[in-house]
């Protein structure tokens, strides 16, 4: 008996179930592979837009006065998206700082620093490169680090842990570089690893950037030369 429902009748037709007379068996049911690249690219663009909007608002308004709603509006995304990407406002601030550590170039500054330490044989040129990278990273990250420090001191407890982690991670990075430079003979053997790390910590500190650039008006090339020397 044929169905009285044209839709059911069509589905029951063997040719329709197989994709028609011009489609091989099973081809009509073959699903297209899901391409997630466009969605991932859109999410990456949205994240960068959120970071850009948040950084501008944070540096102009301060941590306490910057809301997720304002960040979302500035980035053209929903508040739910901001929370999905970064969890909390403190998490968002930390990601802005992490982005600053990558520097301004397409290759992260840490990778460029590691490559210079491994490949550069001239101690003077190596110090110049490290000075340039330090100035680049400080220009990108120091303003946000200062914001985190001041907000933590002002009672925003959610940033205190971030500040401690940042300081700990930076010291471990300085200690790693000190060990490399001592092994390669690029710094005086009379210094211990800890002493060398302390010196590099000071000359690459956001506080130094705050005084020389923020208060005294130095530019990045002058700061780079000072750090290298």
Alpha helices in the chain (DSSP H): 6-12, 14-17, 37-61, 68-75, 79-86, 89-101, 109-119, 123-153, 160-184, 193-203, 206-209, 220-228
Same domain, 179 and 78: no
* Chain segment 200-213, per-residue pLDDT in tens: 999 999 999 999 99
Residue-wise over 168-189: b if at least 16 C-beta within 10 A, else e? eebeebbbebbeebbeeebbee
- Domain of 116? 89-228
Same domain, 59 and 82: yes
Residue 35 has pLDDT above 70, yes or no: no
- Token pair, residue 93, equals 């601030």
What is this structure's pTM?
Answer: 0.78
In degrees rounded to 5, what are phi and psi of residue 38? Answer: -65, -40
Look up the CATH number of the domain holding residue 64: 1.10.10.60
Residue 71 has pLDDT above 60, yes or no: yes
Is residue 172 in a domain? yes
Same domain, 67 and 106: no
* Among 88-97, 172-181, 183-192, the least confident range: 183-192
Same domain, 131 and 62: no
Same domain, 142 and 48: no
Residue with the bigger pLDDT between 31 and 117: it is 117
Out of 25, 52, 87, a domain closes at 87
Contacts 24+ apart (CB under 8 A), 207-210: 208/138, 209/138, 209/139, 209/142, 210/142, 210/146
Query: Helix or strand or coil: residue 46?
Result: helix
Same domain, 83 and 101: no
Average pLDDT over residues 174-192: 91
User: How much is the mean pLDDT over the chain?
Assistant: 86
Between CA 26 and CA 14 the distance in angstroms is 11
Task: Say which residue the tokens 């990273």 belong to.
Answer: 137
Is residue 4 in a domain? no
Average pLDDT over residues 3-20: 44
* Chain segment 141-165, per-residue pLDDT in tens: 999 999 999 999 998 988 999 999 9
Between CA 104 and CA 140 the distance in angstroms is 7
Task: Say which residue the tokens 């700990």 belong to.
Answer: 168
């Amino acid at each position: 008996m044929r169905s009285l429902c044209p839709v059911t009748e069509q589905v029951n037709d063997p040719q329709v179930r197989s994709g028609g007379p011009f489609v091989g068996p099973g081809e009509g049911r073959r699903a297209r592979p899901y391409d997630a690249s466009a969605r991932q690219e859109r999410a990456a663009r949205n994240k960068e837009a959120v970071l850009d909007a948040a950084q501008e608002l944070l540096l102009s308004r301060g941590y306490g006065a910057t809301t997720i709603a304002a960040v979302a509006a500035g980035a053209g995304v929903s508040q739910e998206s901001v929370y999905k990407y970064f969890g909390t406002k403190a998490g968002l601030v930390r990601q802005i700082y992490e982005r600053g550590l990558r520097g301004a170039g397409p290759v992260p500054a840490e990778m460029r620093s590691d490559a210079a330490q491994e490949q550069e044989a001239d101690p003077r040129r190596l110090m110049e490169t490290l000075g340039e990278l330090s100035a680049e990273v400080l220009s990108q990250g120091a303003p946000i680090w200062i914001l985190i420090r001041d907000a933590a001191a002002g009672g925003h407890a959610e940033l205190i842990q971030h500040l401690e982690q940042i300081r700990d991670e930076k010291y471990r990075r300085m200690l790693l570089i000190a060990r490399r430079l001592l092994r390669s003979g690029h710094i005086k053997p009379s210094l211990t690893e800890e002493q060398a790390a302390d010196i590099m910590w000071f000359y690459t500190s956001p506080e130094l950037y705050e005084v020389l650039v923020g208060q005294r008006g130095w530019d990045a090339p002058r700061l780079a030369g000072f750090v290298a020397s």
